[in-house]
Each structure stands twice: as structure tokens, then as C-alpha cells.
Amino acid sequence: MNVPNLLTLSRLAAIPVLMALLLVHFQNHDQLAAAVFVLFSLTDTLDGQLARRRGTVTELGKFLDPLADKLFILSVLAVLVQESLLPAWVAIVILGRELLITILRSVGLGQGRVIAASGLGKTKTVSQMAAVLLVILARPYPVLHTLATLAVALAVVVTVYSGLDYLWRFRFVLSGRPLRPALEPLPVGGGKSDGQAARRLGERLLEAGLKLAVAESCTGGMLAAALTETAGSSRYFEGGVVPYSNELKERLLGVTADLLRTRGAVSAEVASAMAEGARSRLGADLAVSITGVAGPDTDGSDKPVGLTFIGVAAPGLLTVKEFNWKGDRAENRRQSVEAALQLVLDSINQVKKT
């Protein structure tokens, strides 16, 4: 039990208080209910931020947070329907969407996948809370009735759209396709099944007489593992580093603290600096770097889950590509490895000319 978990539990404890304030009529009871609703809604943002900043994310917190969110908003909706302040169909749409995504997450977990929260999901939550607040205040202040109606309509649209977005982005979960293991042979670019991208890259490096180094953050060594899966890879693979923290990016690769502070670890500039640092410090002919937000949560910044930058550095060559993956953590990491292998393959001819 820690502070973020206590904040989450406080949201659960506030539910009966909030319901009582809405149901028991006395002077200014709606205004008090609105204040309680706003106060404990803010804990939804605060608990997650504190847990990530302090490194106190726990399994209990991962379980309690979504549970508290859903019970908090759905209990208020039930009371608003009972008090004839909100049409029942609105609550059914919101409840249906939550059940649908919960089932989708459960199916994903059964396949070993974690379905990350999306920006639309957070927008949905904000729109619902704004609508509920206005509906509560519209009872003592009828002038807000039209605004509350518009807010409810917007919340319904965002709720439905975000649900459809989840279904589309994670449709592979519904297909029942099993999660591929981390070291499954990686297909050659173009989708061919008769070879491995890592093996093909090794052949090209040997032909060109080049040695490769890697610097990977979000993939945690998966790229190096893919490269060394092939016997004899020491002839073209020097090695790599996994500087997961900013401190190690500075110490091992020479990425400046100013660059990390101003651009963030997940940026094209840091990907370039990581690739250049790996090439110079590991004594390779060329180096590839990977930095990104694999998920399921963001890195505490405004950068979305799936955002990834891959850089390649060689004499006379420095290239960076941006990717925005839409899968879960495992898929995002795998796609990053495949993209890095392909980017190095595409860059070899340019290296040979320098």
C-alpha cells in the first residue's frame, strides 16, 4: 500500500458519499455533490502520475485504478438516471463501451497481450466527467441545462468513437492470433517467409565488410538477441548497450543532459545521438538505435504510446525514422526490431559508397 493506491481507494470510498449527496435533498446538496465529484475525479490523474514518478506502480494499483474509475463514473450515472436527470440509454451506451473494452482486455491478457490506454480513452473520460458535472449543476442552475445536454451528446459521441477505435486498433486480439515469442524468426522485409531479416542483414554486412553495433532502449536487448540468434554473428556484430535510463544514455553513449531535458528521451535528436555514440564508443562501422514508448503507459510526457524513433549512424550517414505503432507492448517492441533491421539493410548501400 502506497500513496497512489490510497488515492485510488479514496475514490472508491467517495462513491457512497457522492450517491448520498445526490439522493438526499437538502440545501446546496447538488453543489456539494459537484464539489465532491470534481475533487475525487482529480485523484484519477494524480494517482497515476505519482506512481510513475516515484516508481511505485504496483499490481494492486493496476487492478484498483481501472476498477475505481469505472465504479465511480457508473455509480453516479445510475443515480442520475434514477433522479431522471439523465436518459437511461446514455448510461447503457457508456456501460456497454466499458464492458466491451474490459472483455477485449481480458481476451488480450489471455493471449499474453497488454492493451494500452489510448489518448482517445483519456478524452472519453474527461468528456464523461464534464458531462456529469454539468448535469449535476443543471438541477440547481437551470440555465446550464442546454450546455449539459450538449456535453452529454459530446460524451456519447466520444465514448462510441473511442470504443470503435479500440476495436480497430486491437482487432488482431479478436482474430485469436497467438502472441509471437520474442525470438521467433523475423520475416524479411516485404513479408517473405523463406528467410530472416536478421540473417539477411548479417549476409549483407559480411559482403560489405562492415560491423554493426546497437543501442536500444525500449526494446531492452531484443534487437541484439535477434542479431545473435544466427550462428557466426560475431563476424559482423560488435555488440550493443541497453541504456534504459537517461543517466546511462549520458554515461555510456554521450547523449547530453541538455538534449535529454529539452527534447526528451523519445525524440529524433536523442535517437541520432544514441546511434552516433554507439558507433564511436563501440568501434563499429555503423550503429542503429531504438528509443520509444512501448506501452502500456506513457513515459510521463505528452508523447503517445507507440511513438518510436530509430536511427542509423555511419561515416557520412545519419538517418532517423519516426514510427507510430498501434499494437500492445509486445507488438510495438517487435515491430521496432523489425523496422530497425530493415532500416540498417536499406542503409548499407549508402555506407559502402562513403
In this structure, the answer to whether residues 40 and 147 fall within a common structural domain is yes
Predicted local confidence at residue 194, as pLDDT: 29
Q: Read off the C-alpha cell for 189.
A: 522485409
Beta bridge partner(s), residue 8: none
Is the pLDDT confidence value at 283 over 90?
yes
Beta bridge partner(s), residue 312: 288, 319
In this structure, the answer to whether residues 137 and 235 fall within a common structural domain is no
Predicted local confidence at residue 330, as pLDDT: 84
Predicted local confidence at residue 8, as pLDDT: 84
Q: For 170-210, what is each residue's pLDDT tens digit?
A: 776 776 554 444 333 334 333 333 237 888 899 999 999 99
140, 174, 208: which is the final residue of a domain?
A: 174
Band (285; pLDDT cuts 50, 70, 90): very high
In this structure, the answer to whether residues 326 and 269 fall within a common structural domain is yes
In this structure, the answer to whether residues 254 and 162 fall within a common structural domain is no
113, 139, 174: which is the final residue of a domain?
A: 174
The region that residue 309 occupies, defined by phi over 0 for left and psi between -120 and 50 for alpha, beta otherwise, is beta
Question: Which of these, 351, 346, 281, 285, lies nearest to 310 by C-alpha position?
Answer: 346
How much is the average pLDDT of 216-225? 92
Band (115; pLDDT cuts 50, 70, 90): low
Question: Which of these, 168, 169, 201, 207, lies nearest to 186 by C-alpha position?
Answer: 201
DSSP conformation class of 245? S
Residue 182 counted as domain residue: no
CATH number of the domain bearing residue 23: 1.20.120.1760
In this structure, the answer to whether residues 149 and 221 fall within a common structural domain is no
Beta bridge partner(s), residue 324: 307
**8 A C-beta contact, residue 304 and residue 324:** yes
**8 A C-beta contact, residue 277 and residue 297:** no
Residue 68 counted as domain residue: yes
325 vs 307: CA distance, rounded Å: 6
Question: Which of these, 294, 300, 296, 342, lies nearest to 319 by C-alpha position?
Answer: 342
134 vs 137: CA distance, rounded Å: 5
Q: Read off the C-alpha cell for 292.
A: 520509444
In this structure, the answer to whether residues 207 and 169 fall within a common structural domain is no
Q: Read off the C-alpha cell for 312.
A: 542509423
In this structure, the answer to whether residues 170 and 202 fall within a common structural domain is no
User: What is the pTM for the complete model shown?
Assistant: 0.54
Other CB atoms within 10 A of residue 35 CB: 14
In this structure, the answer to whether residues 161 and 247 fall within a common structural domain is no
237 vs 284: CA distance, rounded Å: 8
Question: Which of these, 198, 139, 167, lies nearest to 340 by C-alpha position?
Answer: 198
What one-letter code names the amino acid at 11? R
Residue 192 counted as domain residue: no
Question: Which of these, 282, 344, 281, lies nearest to 317 by C-alpha position?
Answer: 344
**8 A C-beta contact, residue 70 and residue 99:** no
Q: At what angle do helices 29-54 and 59-82 cross, to 10 degrees?
A: 160
Q: At what angle do helices 3-23 and 29-54 cross, to 10 degrees?
A: 170
19 vs 278: CA distance, rounded Å: 58
In this structure, the answer to whether residues 211 and 283 fall within a common structural domain is yes
Length of the chain: 354
Is the pLDDT confidence value at 354 over 60?
no
**8 A C-beta contact, residue 69 and residue 9:** no
CATH number of the domain bearing residue 260: 3.90.950.20
The rounded percent of the chain whose pLDDT value lies above 70 is 85
Q: For 72-83, what is each residue's pLDDT tens digit?
A: 888 999 999 999
Predicted local confidence at residue 57, as pLDDT: 63
Domain count, the chain: 2
Residue numbers of the domain that contains 148: 3-174
What one-letter code names the amino acid at 30? D
Residue 184 counted as domain residue: no
